[in-house]
A and B are shown apart, each in its own frame.
Chain A
Amino acid sequence: MIDLAAFNSALHLLGSSWQPWLVLVPGLLIGLFFHAVPGLTTSMAIAICLPIIPYMDFLSALIFMTSMYTGALFGVAIPAVLLNVPGSASAVATTFDGFPMAQAGRHDEALGYALAASSFGQFVTYLLLLTLVQPIAEVAIKLGPPEMLIVAIWGLTLIARLRGRHFMRGLLAGAFGLLLGTVGLSLRGAVRGTMGFDVLLDGVPIVPAIIGLFAASEMFNLVRREFIVSDAAARRVRGGRIVRGVVDTFRYPGVLIRGALIGTGIGVLPGGHAIANMLSYSEASRSAEDPESFGRGDPRGVIAAESANASSEGGSMATLLALGIPTGGATAVMLIAFDMHNITGGPQFMHDHKDLVYAVILSNLAQVVALAVLGFGFIFVASSIVKVRLRTIIPLVLSLAAIGSYALSQNFAGPITLFVFSVLGWLMQRFDYPVAATVVGLLLGRLTEGALLRTYQMSGGDPLFLLGRPIALGFLLLLFLSFALPLWRNRRRTIRPSGTDPAN
């Protein structure tokens, strides 16, 4: 299952230099810190750190970003447990039992459960990835332009669908992103949509645009939120009780392993990270003998949510590495690190650079150990971090984003792009358009156009050409289903007279 030559070369990569290890701890701490402040997100943390990526070699950059991701996945549990504020969709289920535990004075145990489940979930998912890289790479390399095209569009529609209520708005956001991603010189040398600005010939400056859409726009939303931190955060933390939480976690191996498997499986899908924790939680309460104890401070709820949340990282890394397609905000930003190092993610990368992929996985296994130690210490400082005032953080994050954009582009096109996209992102969020769909579209614009063009050339414009490509047909069916199901569901809802449906 494991390509031993590549595996040995990965060990050599990690063992021959201290540089890849140097970024691990700062990455984890940034991730932990960012998510411990309610309102800040993983994609925001990674986006703001993008300007320093070109100063690292590619492996260090990947390790730095995955460490942030790893840290954030546990960090998100801290405000969820202490304040009942899920920092992102991936921690919603953690609040269900985490906060009732905190209300009952068992907050340090709850954080212990969360830490152990989070570390365990990530360990399992990366072990799975380690054994599956070889077969995944072999399947992925067989995908040609038509398959990649359909996968890209399918991924985009899944992300567009995340905010279920407004599928049309999601589609528009995705299409808008794809079009933005093709601005500049075309494959044939035609100049499109530059409005006469030479800086746009290479396309919209992608990093400032993404920092604007993800990080800066969210800051404008946060100005109105003053999280009320009363006695909840002031609670004393006792090390002994955290340890008890950590140890007791392993009394529920079934919940832990099921959570890790659900997280890995669902994490592979675009948008999956947001769903994994809910699915695992409901699965745990459904199969429990005493489901009524869930929601009242049952540790199994915290464990189920956290192990699935953490293990979704492995799933989404598999999709990113094998297909070059991001499954959400955090992996979308990571894809830019590929770009910055002139590396195209996707099947060819996975096939040719298995040693790098193994090195990232091995480093993630090490990150889990570091997380267990750092996370433990971090719980003690966390209760003071949740009290940091957002009004102090907002100007600093925005200024850092603007300076970072300047440093990257070495001209003012960077900060101007940041500003334009931050306002646009705020407006889109306000009217319920999924910003993530625009970002993923922006990233996949060129890939999609290239794949579509090659498909067109291969087929000579004949759609029957797809009949000879069973994988493409299978993907097409999935694409069709993800389009048709929400439309069908919407229709059923509108046809049904209101009042007869108990859900209304």
Chain B
Amino acid sequence: MDIASRRITFDLPHALLVTAIAGWCLWYFLDARAASANVQNLVLIQPLAILVAILWITILRETIQVEPTAEAQEQRPARREQLDGPTALKVFGSMGLLGLYVASMSAIGLDLATFVYVLASLFLLGERRLAVLLAVPVVFTAIVVIAFDRLLATPLPLLLR
């Protein structure tokens, strides 16, 4: 947005993150207060909640910047790295795969889930050699299952038992 010779920029993603963090903290304070308003219960939480509220407003102000449009634009400090299409796919794809992996563990067993997850992740991150795509997940799953299930005697929910 340009007003007179100044440009107003608003860093929406950052504003959302800081609002989410502060929002959780304030919700937590209200939840704790509802549980017990006794000083012993709120001795740390209440002052911290007040601090968080102040920080939230201060940081939110930082997300709105008013700058002259012309040459000053070029002198702007380096912003965070932009995610281009392929990188964004890798980053968010990795997150999505981890989420699916965690969610599917109980349904399909930790061994199958691990095999599929490692295979899919390798493919997503650009591995195309068939030998690697098959060998790494198989060997890794075998080692992990043997190490945790047999050596450390930690019962894992497995498909093949």
Residues of A within 8 A of B (CB): 52, 55, 168-169, 171-172, 175-176, 178-179, 182-183, 186-188, 190-193, 216, 219-221, 223-224, 391-392, 394-396, 398-400, 402-403, 406-407, 410, 412, 415-416, 418-419, 422-423, 426-428, 430-432, 445, 448-449, 452-453, 456
Contacts and interface: CB of A to CB of B under 8 A. Distances in A.
B25 A176 contact: yes
Interface in B37-85: 38-41, 43-45, 48-49, 51-52, 55-56, 58-59, 62, 80, 83
A394 B52 CA distance: 34
Contact of B127 (A391, A396, A403): A391
A172 B43 contact: no
B118 to A, nearest CB: 5
Contacts of A445: 44
Contacts of B127: 391-392
A223 B87 contact: yes
B80 A412 contact: no
Contacts, number: 161
A430 B17 CA distance: 10
A168 to B, nearest CB: 5
A122 to B, nearest CB: 30
**Main SS at interface, chain B:** helix
Interface centre among A55, A219, A395 (most CB of B within 10 A): A395
A484 to B, nearest CB: 16
8 contacts: A169-B59, A175-B52, A187-B41, A190-B41, A221-B91, A395-B121, A419-B99, A449-B43
B136 interface: yes
A273 B125 CA distance: 33
B140 A223 contact: no
A480 to B, nearest CB: 15
Given A52-B152, A190-B35, A431-B14, A223 B105 contact: no
A396 B154 contact: no
A57 to B, nearest CB: 15
Contact of B28 (A186, A192, A418, A452): A192
Interface centre among B17, B24, B125 (most CB of A within 10 A): B125
Interface string B118-144: 100110011100001000100010001
Given A171-B55, A179-B25, A392-B127, A192 B31 contact: yes
Contact of A419 (B21, B98, B125): B98
B40 A187 contact: yes
Nearest to A395: B121
Given A192-B45, A398-B98, 13 more contacts: A190-B38, A193-B28, A224-B91, A391-B122, A392-B127, A395-B125, A399-B101, A402-B102, A407-B154, A410-B154, A419-B99, A431-B13, A445-B44
